[in-house]
Amino acid sequence: MQRNKPYLPNFKLTDFDIETLAQPIICPKSQEIQYYETLSKICTFDKNNINNDVFFSIVDNSFIQTLALQQIQFSLAQYPHQRHSFNIKLSCLADEHFVQKLLSFNGAKFALEISELDCYTESKEIHHNLSQLQANNIEIWLDDYHSNNKLANMSLDTIFWDRIKIDKSFLKYADLESIQALEYFLAPFCSRGLIFEGVEDTQHHEMLKECHSLVQGYHYSRPYPLQSEQAVSLCS
């Protein structure tokens, strides 16, 4: 059955609120914060949480673009001396109008995490738009890289990423040798290095101190909400 609007069983979009969270991305050697990832927590107005992956797989690109622009505008206004990253689908960056809105932030430094490779990565339009963004201090990151992800591996030959974030599942079975091997393998495909997600304990931290990557995970900080009056809502 076709629907003209994003759909979730038993709910309308007006039933949702989006709380904006932040989680630091850290240099493990100095333990200094390098970036803050901006995250979204989806909940209904009766305070039930909704799976983020399900929600964002259903809403359309215009919703995601509007959310990203609101979060970027807020972060730049409230935290001008911090670098933030924001999640976006690759197909959103095929939209020239949206890209121009991103460029209108006048050289502000932030990163876009490509959370879904949902369009043709060899597109001239995509390459042109990514080049424009990168030339204006907007970093382009590949999110949730895993060696078994065919699309992610194919993108290494078509997009020169600023950073590549390693899926948190990697650290479950990793040792220092495998971490360093992955750094070596991916070095030609990104200009600024890797970010390892899912750093949960001291063992992970001690291994990654010996490496050249940034880190993110509960060992350093859980995602924390911005002040309640700063929550982003597109559903009113």
| For the chain, domain boundaries | 13-230
Instruction: Please report which confidence band the pLDDT of residue 10 belongs to, taking 50, 70 and 90 as the band edges.
Output: very low
Per-residue pLDDT tens over the stretch 175-198: 999 999 999 999 999 999 999 999
Phi then psi dihedrals of residue 66, to 5 deg = -65, -40
Query: Position of tokens 């901006």?
Result: 38
Q: Given a cut of 60, is residue 8 above it in pLDDT? A: no
CATH code for the structural domain at 13-230: 3.20.20.450
Residue 34 Rama label (left phi>0; alpha psi -120 to 50; beta):
alpha
Q: What is the pLDDT of residue 47?
A: 58
Q: CA-to-CA distance for 218 and 226, rounded, in angstroms?
A: 17
Give CA angle at 55 (54, 59), nearest 5°. Answer: 120
